[in-house]
């Protein structure tokens, strides 16, 4: 609400009954919200997705996510390529005809290469552009999509991945049944020499599916990760690293790694590997650094006591690794020696959520980061700036004319005294100090994830949109979140919906104690594990929450185990036990399911789900909806399917529809505090284009 409205209400308060003032406040929200962020803004918002700097430090190639118009087409965002010339500060679009991926500078040429599929291509192929612009030229194509590639240092050879062709049916029927989890083609690895145009690529003879490929700096070896099958579960939990000889194509070493694997990085002398990986098989994340000889062996964990998460690593000298890390709500760029000593911080960013970095040979670092005031942009860090980040791109210029609400980091103690929890709070736009307001609690998924102090508004995260309507928005990093070290992330294992979700309620109580949150107007939303929390808060903790929006969430832990594509990950890094081991365990998992507590339900809940979700089956949403309708028919509940969407919406119109439905639900039940209000009309409240 703007200042004029606040003053007007204060002047009227002595003359007009409170009920009339409150009615004026509620019905005027949409009028006064126009000075802040709206769903229309989010639908057109562009964001940098990554950057790579040239070896000489003169150019940055970066990609930008560009949304489709939701009023005309229901399509995913396209990823376009741009190049920033650091000498003159100019940015130019280099490829905007379609989506690009895997942008790299080609060794020895300085040209830019990327993957895309142009009209006339039968599959995703490798293209090249001069650094000063021009027409993109196709330099290599394969019979099937190239999933990723890596350049040999000679600039002539590539190693790449591609999925095998699935076996075709021999049935004479004009129909083909889908046999679940069978006839899934493996992902294979190949080597191609681009100077021998007619020579077929040679496949690496490794069993299973290949996920990572990295040339050694001397060009004589490849580090390759392979999992037994192409299943999601195996890709998460069963990648093993092999070292392959370039000439013989034979495996010459095996690395005895276990658990999740995020990166493989060669030492400059090609003698060792640094892994960004799990500490062990039960570690939920690939956020540690391990070192191992390229001749094989067991990786050694360094910096074991680090209370953060390594997000990216780059080996820059024989004994030095540069890194990007998350430390609670902050991002850190720094370096560490391979024995864990000599750790240095180059940049500690409390208000920049950094998602990736790239380092040139002369030490200039480009990175992509958001802030509370803008989505992700390109920044550089060099010796000339005194380690102060320099912002280099300015997308969404219209944001300069939009009012943004204040965002701050908050912290509070847990009820058991074990931890201090941190998170972010976005105040209502033009918040009046001391006033109690409705609060939307946004719960992240995972639970192995966290919120950083950056841009926190998207189609499914109300953020600044809700703040413009008069809500505060709260983002707690409950126990089990990343960015707080090994002990913190292990602390929620084997305790589904237990202390982790109590931490969220403790955060709400903290905001109530501060006089910010109206205890009768607390809402909750989230996706995946955050959807699980939303269902839990609207059943088990229903007396505390006035409205909920559940997205691709869990309602029944018994059926979840039997319908998800990650049952082994669920066991190894979450539950740490098999629920069928005893009758008592079956009952425990049922009691940790929102459907068990539906008799407590008083919270109006909007349930939304992609119809093609394989991670959390859509039946999870249907189960909760059916239980509510049968057992508590008086509680407002609605179920919305998104056809063709999976574990989260990716298409423009379905995201826009979701955005409006979410805000409408909170306006109906949370802003008013009226849990018995009539259901909004079933149709999407999306307005006609102005």
- Find the DSSP H helices in 475-602: 486-490, 499-513, 529-537, 557-563, 567-570, 583-591
What whole-number distance in Å separates Cα of residue 647 and Cα of residue 618? 9
Is the previous residue joined to 234 through a cis bond, with omega within 30 degrees of 0? no
Torsion of CA 577, 582, 583, 585, to 10 degrees: -20
Long-range CB pairs of 288-291 (<8 Å, 24+ gap) are: 288/486, 289/313, 289/321, 289/323, 289/336, 290/257, 291/338
- How far CA 413 is from CA of 128, 306, 419, 450, 518, in Å, comes to 53, 21, 6, 17, 20
Under 8 Å CB-to-CB from 198, ≥6 apart: which residues? none
- DSSP letter for 445, please: S
**What number of CA atoms fall less than 13 Å from residue 34's CA on the CB side?**
4
* Per-residue model confidence (pLDDT) at position 26: 37
Class of domain 149-165+185-350: mainly beta
* Per-residue model confidence (pLDDT) at position 11: 34
What whole-number distance in Å separates Cα of residue 208 and Cα of residue 210? 7
3-class DSSP assignment, residue 620: helix
Low-confidence ranges of the chain (pLDDT < 50): 1-34
Q: Which two tokens stand for residue 369?
A: 């980061």
Round the CA-based radius of gyration of the chain to a whole number and report it: 26
Place of tokens 């006339």: 120
> Cβ(54)–Cβ(60) under 8 Å?
yes
- How far CA 524 is from CA of 270, 445, 471, 624, in Å, comes to 50, 13, 12, 16
What whole-number distance in Å separates Cα of residue 602 and Cα of residue 289? 46
* Per-residue model confidence (pLDDT) at position 8: 31
> Cβ(619)–Cβ(595) under 8 Å?
no
What whole-number distance in Å separates Cα of residue 46 and Cα of residue 82? 13
pTM: 0.92
Helix 499-513 and helix 529-537, axial crossing angle in degrees, nearest 10: 60
β-sheet bridge partners, residue 187 = 163
* Per-residue model confidence (pLDDT) at position 16: 34
First to last CA, the chain: 23
* Per-residue model confidence (pLDDT) at position 690: 72
Helix 3-12 and helix 18-32, axial crossing angle in degrees, nearest 10: 170
* Per-residue model confidence (pLDDT) at position 13: 34
* Per-residue model confidence (pLDDT) at position 445: 96
Q: Which two tokens stand for residue 335?
A: 């370096």
344-349 and 330-337 beta bridge pairing: antiparallel
The vertex-456 CA angle with 450 and 458, nearest 5°, equals 115
Q: Which two tokens stand for residue 116?
A: 């895309």
> CA nearest 61: which of 5, 140, 136?
136
* Per-residue model confidence (pLDDT) at position 133: 84
Domain ranges, ordered by start, for the chain:
149-165+185-350, 408-669
3-class DSSP assignment, residue 531: helix
> CA nearest 268: which of 322, 217, 214, 219?
217
Q: Which two tokens stand for residue 294?
A: 């390229």
- DSSP letter for 219, please: S
Phi, psi (degrees; rounded to nearest 5) at 272: -135, 165
* Per-residue model confidence (pLDDT) at position 383: 74
Q: Which two tokens stand for residue 58?
A: 């003169």
Class of domain 408-669: alpha beta
């Amino acid at each position: 609400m703007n200042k004029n409205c606040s003053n007007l209400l204060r002047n009227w308060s002595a003359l007009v009954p409170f009920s009339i003032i409150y009615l004026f406040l509620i019905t005027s929200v949409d009028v006064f919200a126009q000075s802040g962020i709206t769903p229309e803004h989010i639908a057109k918002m562009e964001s940098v997705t990554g950057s790579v700097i040239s070896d000489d430090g003169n150019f940055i190639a970066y990609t930008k996510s560009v949304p489709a118009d939701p009023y005309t087409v229901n399509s995913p965002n396209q990823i376009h390529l741009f190049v920033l010339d650091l000498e003159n500060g100019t940015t130019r679009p280099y490829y905007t005809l379609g989506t690009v991926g895997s942008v790299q500078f080609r060794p020895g040429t300085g040209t830019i290469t990327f993957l895309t599929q142009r009209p006339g291509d039968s599959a995703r192929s490798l293209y090249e552009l001069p650094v000063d612009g021009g027409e993109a030229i196709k330099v290599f194509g394969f019979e099937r999509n190239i999933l990723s590639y890596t350049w040999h240092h000679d600039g002539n050879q590539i190693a790449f991945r591609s999925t095998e062709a699935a076996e075709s049916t021999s049935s004479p029927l004009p129909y083909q049944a889908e046999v679940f989890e069978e006839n899934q083609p493996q992902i294979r690895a190949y080597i191609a020499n681009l100077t021998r145009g007619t020579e077929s690529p040679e496949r690496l003879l490794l069993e299973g599916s290949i996920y990572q490929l990295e040339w050694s700096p001397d060009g004589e070896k490849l580090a390759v990760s392979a999992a037994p099958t192409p299943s999601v579960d195996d890709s998460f939990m069963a990648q093993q690293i092999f070292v392959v000889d370039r000439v013989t194509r034979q495996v010459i070493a095996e690395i005895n790694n276990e658990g999740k694997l995020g990166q493989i990085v060669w030492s400059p002398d090609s003698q060792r590997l640094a892994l960004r990986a799990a500490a062990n098989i039960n570690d939920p994340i690939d956020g540690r650094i391990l070192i191992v000889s390229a001749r094989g062996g067991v990786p050694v964990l360094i910096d074991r006591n680090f209370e953060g998460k390594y997000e990216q690593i780059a080996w820059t000298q024989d004994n030095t690794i540069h890194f990007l890390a998350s430390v609670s709500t902050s991002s850190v760029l720094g370096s560490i020696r391979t024995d864990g000593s000599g750790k240095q911080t180059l940049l500690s960013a409390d208000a920049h959520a950094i998602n990736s970095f790239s380092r040139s040979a002369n030490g200039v670092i480009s990175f992509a980061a958001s802030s509370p005031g803008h989505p992700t942009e390109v920044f550089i860090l060099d010796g000339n700036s005194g380690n102060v980040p320099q912002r280099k791109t300015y997308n969404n210029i219209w944001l300069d004319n939009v009012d943004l609400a204040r965002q701050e980091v908050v912290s509070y103690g847990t009820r058991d005294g074990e931890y201090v929890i941190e998170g972010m709070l976005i105040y209502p736009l033009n918040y009046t100090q001391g006033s109690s307001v409705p609060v939307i609690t946004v719960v992240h998924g995972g639970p192995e994830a966290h919120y950083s102090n950056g841009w926190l508004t998207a189609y499914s995260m109300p953020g600044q949109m809700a703040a413009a309507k008069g809500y505060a928005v709260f983002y707690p990093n409950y126990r089990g979140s990343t960015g707080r070290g090994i002990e913190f992330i292990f602390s929620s294992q084997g305790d589904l919906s237990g202390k982790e979700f109590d931490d969220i309620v403790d955060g709400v109580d903290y905001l109530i104690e501060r006089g910010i949150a109206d205890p009768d107007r607390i809402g909750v939303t989230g996706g995946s594990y955050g959807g699980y929390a939303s269902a839990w808060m609207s059943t088990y903790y229903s007396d505390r929450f006035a409205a909920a929006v559940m997205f691709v969430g869990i309602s029944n832990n018994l059926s979840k185990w039997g319908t998800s594509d990650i049952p082994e990950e669920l066991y190894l890094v979450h539950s740490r036990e098999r629920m069928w081991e005893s009758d008592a365990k079956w009952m425990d998992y049922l009691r940790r399911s929102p459907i068990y507590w539906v008799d407590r339900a008083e919270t109006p809940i909007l349930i939304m789900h992609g119809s093609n979700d394989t991670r959390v089956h859509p039946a999870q949403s249907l189960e909760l909806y059916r239980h509510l309708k049968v057992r508590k028919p008086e509680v407002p509940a609605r179920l919305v399917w998104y056809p063709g969407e999976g574990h989260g919406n990716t298409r423009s119109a379905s995201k826009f529809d979701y955005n409006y439905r979410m805000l409408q639900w909170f306006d109906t039940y949370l802003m008013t505090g009226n849990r018995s209000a009539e259901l909004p009309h079933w149709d999407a409240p999306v307005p006609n284009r102005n």
